[in-house]
Amino acid sequence: MPETKPFCCGYAVIVGPPNAGKSTLMNHLLDHKLSIVTPKPQTTRKKITGIYHNDTCQIVFLDTPGIMKPMQMLHEAMLKTTRDTIREADAIVMMIPVSGKGEPFDRSLAEMLFGEWIAPSGKPVVVVLNKADRLSTRQREHALYLVRKLWSPQKAIAISALHGENTDLLIEALLPFMPYEHPFYPEEMLSTSPERFFVGEIVREKIFLQYGKEIPYATEVVIDEFREQHEKDPSKKDLIRCSIVVERDTQKHILIGKKGAALKKLGQAARKDIEEFLGRPVFLELFVKVRPNWRRKKGLLKSYGY
């Protein structure tokens, strides 16, 4: 008789600098676009739960905001999220992005990450060197050697989240640290966050992709109304009313564009992805509001869920 492995379950937090590929990794593991991904740093602002299932384990992945030097109250709230999420986890996936030129990774950044955020938690850590598609085999081996020498993690793996390379090794590496014997969530469940949260995130992703400079960073998205009409009457589309909050009038004008063209384009791109995500058609209405300095105002930040 083949030996059957006991079932295991637990929480694994993905921690790393902004733009490392944390959200890309979670999406790849779940085979679902759950967390938004853009080429700009500081895309993820809140904890995103993604539940990975297979026959032998359930791993609840926690995607977190990237670790950076806080410049304002919003950043401090984001970092607090990451800190609190590390506390919840049974194991840490420390993600370091590699570069193809010079040193294989930013050593001072990685040392700060390990010394200030990972080591003090005392939790098991699997280091993943992401974007390894940029390295030759020799460079990969050198980078892994450095990681093992510097921090002696439980495991170190070079992966490409974008191309799904070696991500199965990460699942295997996490299994010994998943302490529970029964799954927490039903098999069809992908996340604990509600649909409306992801709808807001999709709008935010499109803003990050469509606008440049400070616009994405000065923007917050709030779902004012999510009227699910479809379930009661399948001939009706769900209605989503969404506010885009910016800090200044000039930003509002840029968001809206000439004769509303930019906002229209944004709405079209967001609606397409929202419909794909929900699997049903929707009406999406976007409004732009100015809330001066919302990123520095405790009350406003709190009302936006930070």
Ligand X SMILES: Nc1nc2c(ncn2[C@@H]2O[C@H](COP(=O)(O)OP(=O)(O)OP(=O)(O)O)[C@@H](O)[C@H]2O)c(=O)[nH]1
- For residue 48, how far is the Cα from the chain centroid? 6
In angstroms, what is the minimal distance from the CB of 12 to Mg ion? 15
Please select the residue that binds Mg ion; options are 23, 49, 160, 251, rule is CB under 5 A.
Answer: 23
Amino acid, single-letter form, for residue 145: Y
Please select the residue that binds Mg ion; options are 21, 26, 34, 44, rule is CB under 5 A.
Answer: 44
Q: Does 162 bind ligand X (CB under 6 A)?
A: yes
Q: Which stretch binds ligand X (CB under 6 A): 21-29, 81-89, 188-196, 233-241?
A: 21-29
Q: Does 206 bind ligand X (CB under 6 A)?
A: no
DSSP conformation class of 180: B
Q: Does 23 bind ligand X (CB under 6 A)?
A: yes
- Mark 40-59 with x for binding to ligand X (rule: CB under 6 A) and - for no binding: -xxxx---------------
Please select the residue that binds ligand X; options are 9, 13, 21, 199, rule is CB under 6 A.
Answer: 21
Q: How far apart are CA 59 and CA 174, in angstroms?
A: 8
Q: Which stretch binds ligand X (CB under 6 A): 160-168, 173-181, 231-239, 243-251?
A: 160-168
In angstroms, what is the minimal distance from the CB of 285 to Mg ion? 27
Burial class (CB in 10 A: 0-12, 13-18, 19+), 159: buried
Taking the least distance from each CB to Mg ion, the nearer of 44 and 130 is 44
Q: Which residues neighbour 295 within 8 Å (Cβ) at sequence distance 6 or greater?
A: 72, 73, 74, 217, 218, 247, 301
Element (H, E) at 97: strand 91-97
Whether 178 and 91 have beta carbons less than 8 Å apart is answered as yes
Three-point CA angle 279, 280, 281, nearest 5°: 140
Q: How far apart are CA 223 and CA 243, in angstroms?
A: 6
Q: Does 66 bind ligand X (CB under 6 A)?
A: yes
Q: How far apart are CA 95 and CA 245, in angstroms?
A: 31
161 binds, among Mg ion, ligand X, none (CB under 5 to 8 A by kind): ligand X
User: For the chain, how many helices (H) and strands (E)?
Assistant: 9, 9
Taking the least distance from each CB to Mg ion, the nearer of 114 and 208 is 208
Residue ranges that bind ligand X, judged by CB under 6 A: 16, 18-24, 37-39, 41-44, 65-66, 130-131, 133-134, 160-162
